[in-house]
């Protein structure tokens, strides 16, 4: 359904855009309906950039992004507006996603203004209450409030509800629970599971392997802007082939172990100087399990 | 119990709260009333007085009296009539000059801050050039080439030179605000850049914009008075600055004609001072930490 084909992104940095920083190198991924695809990697690995390119918030330097076989990059405002009916996003920081001087439910109002101007007020209110209940929120306790009067979990759920008003096919979820406290994280995560059941494709961006394991059937591991390993969650987590993936797995804290008992020594990896090079080629080591060449 | 109280009081808009505190802030109240009182005088005064303030209507160098409230000039012109017309042109210069620089400053600042990249670097360069241009020297050159130097021309010239600091501040704030996720969310709702700037970014800097509008207004009045005083004022109208310039040119100080130069000088000081006080008061309103306990 959603396909990224050999996508590259380089940012202009420095005075007059004199230098370039390659944030994403030759990434190809695809998401099917009813699937959660996790993109995992350390900070700076280009995960957010991928999400922003899918959401057309930043341009694609090279390559294609296809929705149902149709190239969606570099089009005009009207086409983009139509695209957002089908693809939406939720970001990391709930408090930055709301304009602090307006009431939080304004995010629904702007959707109505842009896409459903002819829907009657009463019907619209009913729809909003409907999607709010769909994300387990009590409309009475969140409508008419300012963002600072609501919790991070409530705000993130309202953003998911907003996306559902648009009848989307793909949701980009960029670290959407990393700023929530533990008790609400799992609820929001389970909500993504329900979206999957409804047939949505979810691009789940996280730096936390255990979350990827919990929610998704396929995972893509990134480093320095390139894919180092990808495949079904089961295969990648039980049989990681790339040293970076093994390091990531070893670094997940475990309930039954103290840090002092941990004897794993991280494997040596090349330093961050390879962004200007072409990424190491991927080879299929097992059915649907791809690994980048490594020393 | 307490939850109910929160429900009833909190959703009161912050705008109303600001208006409430603004009207009760003594500095804002005093400053604003002074500015408005003088504006009113400049607006309605000329309706009751002569249309030609430079006419020689009475005895020369007469002290204030019931007939000539502010006395007459060395040539027998009515100072009060001149004063009222001068007020009017000062407010005109302030509104027009301040307005022009406000619009240019906002346009440049928002475009540079929102677009970023090359557009920003070019606009930033232009801003810096205008900022370091010796405005006075340029104005002297321009003024000596312009045939008719009216109040409007003067206001336009002042407007074209005083926008850079607003543009810089707006650019800096837009940079920060444009990186907030709610701006991205507005784009995901199919909003255009213009709408996003006006509806998401601008409301967050409303207090700053209001205050810079006031400062630009006062700055333009002061700048115009200075130009008038050095003889670059409007040739076809009376302003507070040209009154000062005339009175000095005909040595009113030595002749003891204090009524000729005190009113315009006092009015300029009052307007600019009152605007400044208003601004300090507004600062207290918008930054509750500065409010007196
Ligand atoms: N707007 C930008 N301009 C320049 N460089 C950027 C920009 N956004 C991200 N980068 C750089 O691109 C790289 C990838 O960033 P990002 O996609 O945010 O990574 P992640 O989300 O995985 O932490 C980082 O090195 C970051 O500094
Ligand atoms: Mg990120």
In order, the DSSP letters of B34-69 are HHHHHHHHHHHHHHHS-S-TTS--S-TTPPP-SSST
The DSSP 8-state label assigned to residue B251 in this structure reads T
Q: Do B188 and A84 touch (CB under 8 A)?
A: yes
| Cα A21 to ligand 1 centre (Å) | 9
Does residue A74's CB lie within 6 angstroms of at least one atom of ligand 1? no
pLDDT of residue B66: 79
Contact A31, A203 (CB under 8 A): yes
Mean local confidence (pLDDT), A125-135: 94
d(CA B171, CA B182): 18
Atom from ligand 1 closest to the CA of residue A12: 4
| Cα A49 to ligand 1 centre (Å) | 6
Please tell me the residue having the least CA distance from ligand 1 atom 17.
A46
Q: How confident is the model at residue B2 (pLDDT cuts 50, 70, 90)?
A: very low
CA dihedral (B244, B248, B249, B255) in degrees, to 10, reads 130
CA end-to-end span of chain A, whole Å? 35
Q: Do A114 and B200 touch (CB under 8 A)?
A: no
Atom from ligand 1 closest to the CA of residue A207: 22
More confident residue, B78 or A271: B78
pLDDT of residue B218: 94
From the CA of A16, how many Å to the nearest CA of chain B?
6
Q: How confident is the model at residue B154 (pLDDT cuts 50, 70, 90)?
A: confident
- Residue B49 CA, chain-centre distance (Å), reads 26
Three-class DSSP category at B78: strand
d(CA B217, CA B158): 11
Residue length, chain B? Answer: 293
On whether any CB of chain A is under 8 Å from the CB of B121, the answer is yes
Q: Of the given ranges (A267-281, B100-114, B208-222), which has the lowest mean pLDDT?
A: A267-281
Residue from B256, B239, B248, B231 nearest B71 by CA: B256
Residue A168: pLDDT above 90?
yes
Pairing status of strand A289-292 against strand A226-232: antiparallel
Atom from ligand 1 closest to the CA of residue A24: 14
Residue B68: pLDDT above 90?
no
Q: Of the given ranges (A95-104, A186-195, B45-54), which has the lowest mean pLDDT?
A: B45-54
On whether any CB of chain A is under 8 Å from the CB of B147, the answer is no
Residue A263: pLDDT above 70?
no
Q: Do B184 and A17 touch (CB under 8 A)?
A: no
Q: How confident is the model at residue B1 (pLDDT cuts 50, 70, 90)?
A: very low
Q: How confident is the model at residue B5 (pLDDT cuts 50, 70, 90)?
A: very low
Backbone angles phi and psi of A191, in degrees to 5? -60, -40
What is the number of the ligand closest to the CA of A45? 1
How many CB pairs (< 8 A) connect A and B? 63
Cα atoms in the 13 Å half-sphere on the side-chain side of A201? 18
Mean local confidence (pLDDT), B98-127: 94
Q: What is the CATH number of domain B92-288?
A: 1.10.3720.10
Where along chain B do its domains lie? 92-288
Q: Return the percent helix, strand and coil in chain B, to nearest 5.
A: 75, 0, 25
Mean local confidence (pLDDT), B154-180: 92
Quick: pLDDT tens for A63-85.
Answer: 999 999 999 987 899 999 999 99
Q: Of the given ranges (A104-118, B61-75, B100-114), which has the lowest mean pLDDT?
A: B61-75
Instruction: Compute the mean pLDDT over every residue in chain A, rounded to the nearest whole number.
Output: 90
| Cα A201 to ligand 2 centre (Å) | 20
Quick: pLDDT tens for B269-290.
Answer: 999 999 999 999 888 888 766 6
Q: Which two tokens stand for residue A111?
A: 């959707």
Could you please state the CATH topology (level 3) that the domain comprising A2-86+168-292 is classified under. Rossmann fold (3.40.50)
Does residue A41's CB lie within 6 angstroms of at least one atom of ligand 1? yes
Q: What percent of chain B has pLDDT over 70?
A: 92
Q: Which of B182, B192, B204 lies closest to A97 in CB terms?
A: B182
The DSSP 8-state label assigned to residue B133 in this structure reads S
Where along chain A do its domains lie? 2-86+168-292
Does residue A57's CB lie within 6 angstroms of at least one atom of ligand 1? no
pLDDT of residue B15: 63
Q: Which of B180, B184, B191 lies closest to A114 in CB terms?
A: B191
pLDDT of residue B9: 39
Residue from A268, A271, A269, A232 nearest A32 by CA: A232
Which residues of chain B are within 8 Å of residue A100 when distances are taken between CB atoms? 204
Residue from B255, B233, B253 nearest B242 by CA: B233
| Cα A230 to ligand 1 centre (Å) | 21
Q: Of the given ranges (A133-137, A246-250, B132-136), which has the lowest mean pLDDT?
A: B132-136
Q: How confident is the model at residue B142 (pLDDT cuts 50, 70, 90)?
A: confident
Radius of gyration over every alpha carbon of chain B, rounded to an integer in angstroms: 23
Three-class DSSP category at B190: coil
From the CA of A250, how many Å to the nearest CA of chain B?
33
């Amino acid at each position: 359904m959603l396909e990224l084909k050999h996508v590259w992104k380089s940012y202009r940095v420095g005075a007059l855009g004199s230098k370039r920083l390659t944030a994403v190198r030759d990434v190809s991924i695809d998401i099917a309906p009813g699937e959660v695809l996790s993109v995992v990697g350390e900070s700076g690995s280009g995960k957010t950039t991928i999400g922003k390119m899918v959401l057309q918030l930043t341009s694609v330097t090279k390559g294609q992004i296809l929705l149902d076989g149709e190239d969606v990059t570099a089009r005009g405002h009207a086409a983009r507006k139509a695209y957002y009916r089908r693809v939406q996003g939720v970001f990391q920081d709930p408090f930055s996603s709301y304009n602090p001087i307006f009431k939080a439910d304004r995010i629904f109002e702007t959707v109505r203004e842009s896409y459903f101007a002819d829907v009657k007020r009463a019907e619209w209110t009913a729809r909003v209450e409907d999607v709010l209940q769909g994300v387990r929120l009590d409309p009475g306790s969140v409508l008419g409030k300012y963002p600072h009067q609501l919790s991070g979990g409530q705000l993130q759920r309202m953003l998911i509800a907003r996306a559902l008003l648009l009848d989307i096919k793909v949701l980009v979820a960029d670290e959407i629970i990393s700023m929530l406290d533990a008790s609400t994280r799992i609820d929001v995560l389970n909500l993504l599971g329900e979206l999957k059941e409804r047939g949505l494709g979810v691009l789940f961006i996280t730096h936390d392997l255990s979350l990827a394991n919990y929610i998704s059937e396929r995972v893509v591991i990134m480093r320095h802007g390139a894919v180092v390993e990808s495949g079904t969650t089961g295969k990648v987590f039980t049989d990681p082939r790339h040293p970076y993936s093994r390091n990531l797995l070893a670094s997940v804290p475990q309930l039954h172990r103290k840090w002092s008992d941990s004897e794993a020594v991280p494997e040596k990896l090349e330093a961050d100087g390879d962004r200007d090079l072409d990424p190491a080629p991927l080879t299929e080591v097992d059915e649907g399990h791809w690994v980048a060449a490594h020393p | 119990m307490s939850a109910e109280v929160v429900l009833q009081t909190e959703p009161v808009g912050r705008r109303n709260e600001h208006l409430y505190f603004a009207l009760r802030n003594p500095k804002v109240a005093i400053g604003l009333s002074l500015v408005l009182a003088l504006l009113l005088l400049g607006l309605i005064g000329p309706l009751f007085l002569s249309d030609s303030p430079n006419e020689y209507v009475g005895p020369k160098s007469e002290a204030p009296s019931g007939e000539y409230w502010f006395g007459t000039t060395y040539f027998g012109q009515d100072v009060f009539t001149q004063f009222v017309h001068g007020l009017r042109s000062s407010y005109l210069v302030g509104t027009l000059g301040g307005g022009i620089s406000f619009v240019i400053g906002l346009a440049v600042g928002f475009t540079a801050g929102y677009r970023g990249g090359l557009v920003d670097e070019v606009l930033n360069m232009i801003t810096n050039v205008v900022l370091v241009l010796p405005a006075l020297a340029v104005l002297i050159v321009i003024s000596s080439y312009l045939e008719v130097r009216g109040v409007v021309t003067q206001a336009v010239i002042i407007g074209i030179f005083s926008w850079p600091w607003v543009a810089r501040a707006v650019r800096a704030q837009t940079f920060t605000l444009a990186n907030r996720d709610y701006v991205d969310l507005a784009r995901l709702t199919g909003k255009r850049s213009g709408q996003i700037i006006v509806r998401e970014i601008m409301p967050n800097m409303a207090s700053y914009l209001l205050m810079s509008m006031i400062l630009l207004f006062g700055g333009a009045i002061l700048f115009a008075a200075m130009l008038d005083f050095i003889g670059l004022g409007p040739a076809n109208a009376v302003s507070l600055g040209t009154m000062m310039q005339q009175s000095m040119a005909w040595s009113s100080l030595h002749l003891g004609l204090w009524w000729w130069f005190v009113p315009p000088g006092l009015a300029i000081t009052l307007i600019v001072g009152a605007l400044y006080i208003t601004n300090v008061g507004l600062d207290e309103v918008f930054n509750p930490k500065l409010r007196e306990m």
